[in-house]
């Protein structure tokens, strides 16, 4: 490495010693924190339905290919940039750009990722709020042996003011939980929530094996049916993969800035990707097997969370308890993701604008409440964000991130941050990031844009 790079790295280490709080200890904490976020990004409410509708195993092959060749390399890139910069999403990219003698306006990638994370957080609040209300109704026994129509009628009778009160409570819980900062919060989320979620899933999986229709789940999820995979289905599989690990929304930049130096980031992300996919599929098996056992038509999103699942569980012996467990696991993982999604914007306010963390959290909480209120009460506003803004922004932001990391940051700098990885592993990651990830991301972005405009 040149003397210029060496001198800048020495200066960076001095700055880190003086300005950055101590990072997490150990690779396991990073893996668990990333896994907690990945589990809560919303795919578990969409994929069980879409997989079966779009060719089962054929859909999964496209999903896994995009996950391995695009999403994984990009999350590794974001963790690397965060680990190099040790600041907010904007500050980390600005530092790396300066280290590489590039235009520091690249830092606006970090700001764009933080805005995208905020938009995703507003969408994530909707199933959390409705799910809390549905879970409480199940707990109270209000839906015992209820029909799907009765559940829909009961939910439609919930007044908007009640939704907003639950929303306010959720936002307060998230802000209060996130106040200590990502160092403490996400370590606790990883070490406490992930084992709790996995324990709930294990119990629900045993229930599904006892009373569910496993043959229907196998047929729906895993049978290879390429003739059913449409072009739209392949695009949906790719976009679902892009949104599953939290790449492109600043989480990797924040986590990387807090992780110990020298971690094997490539192997950590591979572990997270494998675990996330396995847990998603296990959850899908529970959902499909239980709903098939009572002849409920598969659906997705809110209809799955608050209608199909409650109806299926309450109409099975002792199903209320297991229904509560599976819904609680979904809501807890969504809460973990929500905590992480607000952190990029908080970090920018705290570090770039030098706002006290309490004030930054308060400002983001107020903005989040207002935006989520509009998402809940205004169908057009929600459709704008969920229907085209987020699906278009995610691939384009990921593509720009790949361009900056692989084409503007010299390879010796990246290699220095990954010195613990074998060179063939590092080089394979670099080639994917340079030649595959940006091409596929921009292609997916253009296809999504054409789909929305048409």
Write down the pLDDT at residue 160.
87
Look at the block and give the residue holding tokens 């509560």.
324
Q: Are 265 and 418 spatial neighbours (Cβ–Cβ below 8 Å)?
A: yes
Question: What is the C-alpha separation between 337 and 35, in angstroms, rounded?
Answer: 9
Alpha carbon distance, N-terminus to C-terminus of the chain? 50
Question: What is the C-alpha separation between 107 and 88, in angstroms, rounded?
Answer: 10
Write down the pLDDT at residue 155.
73
Partners of 224 in beta bridges:
56
Write down the pLDDT at residue 385.
95
Write down the pLDDT at residue 158.
79
In the three-class reduction of DSSP (H, G, I as helix; E, B as strand; rest coil), residue 373 is classed as helix
Question: What is the C-alpha separation between 248 and 250, in angstroms, rounded?
Answer: 6
Delimit the domains of the chain by residue range: 23-453
Question: What is the C-alpha separation between 398 and 405, in angstroms, rounded?
Answer: 11
Question: What is the C-alpha separation between 321 and 226, in angstroms, rounded?
Answer: 38
Question: What is the C-alpha separation between 15 and 216, in angstroms, rounded?
Answer: 58
Write down the pLDDT at residue 239.
94
Write down the pLDDT at residue 3.
45
For 23-453, which CATH superfamily applies?
Answer: Amino acid/polyamine transporter I (1.20.1740.10)
The pLDDT profile of the chain, 454 residues, written as one tens digit per residue, is: 444 444 444 444 444 444 445 556 677 888 988 998 898 887 888 999 999 999 999 999 999 999 999 999 999 999 999 999 999 999 999 999 999 999 999 999 999 999 999 999 999 999 999 988 887 777 776 666 666 777 777 777 778 889 999 999 999 999 888 888 777 766 777 888 889 989 999 999 999 999 999 999 999 999 999 999 999 999 999 999 999 999 999 999 999 998 887 889 999 999 999 999 999 999 999 999 999 999 988 899 888 988 888 888 888 888 888 888 888 888 888 988 999 999 999 999 999 988 999 999 999 999 999 999 999 999 899 999 999 999 999 999 999 999 999 999 999 999 999 888 999 999 999 999 999 999 999 999 999 999 988 8
Q: Are 351 and 102 spatial neighbours (Cβ–Cβ below 8 Å)?
A: no
């Amino acid at each position: 490495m040149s003397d210029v790079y060496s001198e800048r790295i020495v200066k960076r280490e001095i700055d880190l010693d003086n300005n950055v709080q101590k990072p997490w200890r150990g690779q396991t904490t990073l893996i668990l924190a990333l896994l907690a976020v990945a589990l809560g990004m919303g795919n578990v409410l969409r994929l069980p339905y879409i997989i079966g509708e779009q060719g089962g195993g054929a859909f999964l092959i496209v999903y896994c290919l995009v996950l391995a060749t695009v999403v994984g390399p990009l999350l590794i890139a974001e963790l690397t940039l965060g680990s190099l910069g040790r600041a907010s999403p904007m500050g980390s990219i600005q530092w790396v750009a300066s280290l590489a003698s590039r235009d520091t306006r690249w830092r606006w990638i970090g700001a764009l990722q933080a805005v995208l994370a905020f938009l995703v957080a507003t969408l994530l609040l909707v199933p959390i709020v409705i799910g809390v209300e549905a879970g409480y109704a199940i707990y109270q026994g209000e839906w015992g042996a209820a029909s799907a129509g009765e559940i829909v009628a009961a939910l439609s009778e919930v007044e908007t003011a009640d939704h907003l009160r639950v929303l306010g409570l959720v936002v307060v819980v998230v802000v209060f939980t996130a106040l200590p900062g990502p160092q403490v919060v996400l370590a606790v989320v990883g070490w406490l929530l992930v084992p709790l979620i996995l324990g709930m899933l294990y119990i629900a999986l045993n229930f599904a094996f006892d009373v569910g229709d496993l043959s229907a789940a196998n047929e729906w999820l895993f049978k290879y049916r390429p003739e059913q995979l449409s072009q739209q289905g392949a695009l949906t599989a790719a976009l679902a993969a892009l949104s599953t690990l939290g790449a492109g929304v600043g989480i990797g930049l924040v986590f990387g800035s807090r992780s110990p130096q020298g971690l094997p980031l490539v192997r950590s992300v591979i572990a997270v990707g494998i675990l996330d996919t396995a847990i998603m599929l296990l959850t899908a098996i529970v959902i499909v097997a239980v709903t098939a056992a009572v002849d409920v038509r598969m659906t997705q999103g809110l209809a799955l969370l608050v209608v199909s699942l409650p109806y299926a569980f309450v109409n099975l012996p002792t199903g209320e308890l297991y229904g509560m467990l599976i819904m609680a696991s979904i809501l807890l993982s969504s809460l973990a993701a929500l905590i992480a999604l607000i952190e990029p914007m908080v970090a920018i306010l705290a570090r770039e604008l030098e706002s006290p963390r309490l004030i930054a959290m308060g400002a983001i909480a107020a903005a989040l409440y207002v935006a989520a209120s509009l998402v809940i009460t205004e169908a057009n506003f929600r459709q704008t964000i969920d229907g085209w803004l987020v699906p278009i922004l995610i691939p384009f932001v990921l593509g720009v991130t790949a361009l900056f990391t692989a084409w503007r940051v010299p390879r010796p700098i990246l290699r220095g941050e990954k010195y613990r990885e074998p060179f063939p592993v590092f080089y394979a990651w670099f080639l994917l990031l340079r030649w595959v990830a940006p091409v596929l991301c921009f292609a997916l972005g253009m296809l999504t844009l054409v789909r929305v405009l048409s």
